[in-house]
Copies of this chain bind each other. A is one copy, B any other.
């Protein structure tokens, strides 16, 4: 296997929004991300310094993480394969931006859950920056979750298999 990380796929493909200096929003698709801490609530995203969003987040010190249904997979792939340096990805995807409390960066309304993050720490690790965000707020579609757990019989998130291939969940649930 040429790329070790492909054996960890599929991971959920999420949309991360961030604003430029003029308050114009950009969006990037990411597959490398994880919760890090409960208290304080920290969520990490990994972005290469060459990506347009990297410096936007380093400057604005805030971002939102948006969890996407598989029905929008074409837009997810578009946002992962185009750069905000040349393309207005919000305009092209026709995503609906929605203002939130706490930060200036908007969420993407078509997504079923959102983490509102303020930059807590940046850790340079290898060829990527780990942006550690403090989660200021969580917004979500009430119908997507029951008792805080995803209704995976109704909501089908977007999972990245690698090389612009995507899949989703089945409706199985095993409870212990």
Contacts and interface: CB of A to CB of B under 8 A. Distances in A.
Contacts of A7: 67, 113-115, 138, 140, 145, 150
Interface string A50-94: 000000000000000101001001100100010000000000000
Contact of A1 (B4, B32, B121, B145): B145
A162 B67 CA distance: 16
Contact of A161 (B36, B152, B166, B167): B152
A39 interface: yes
B40 A115 contact: no
Interface string A97-132: 000000000000000011100000101011110101
A148 B115 contact: no
A175 interface: yes
Contacts of A34: 8, 11, 32-34, 44, 46
Most buried by B among A121, A132, A150: A150
A67 to B, nearest CB: 6
A145 B73 CA distance: 22
A165 to B, nearest CB: 5
A15 B145 CA distance: 26
Given A39-B127, A42-B125, A163 B149 contact: yes
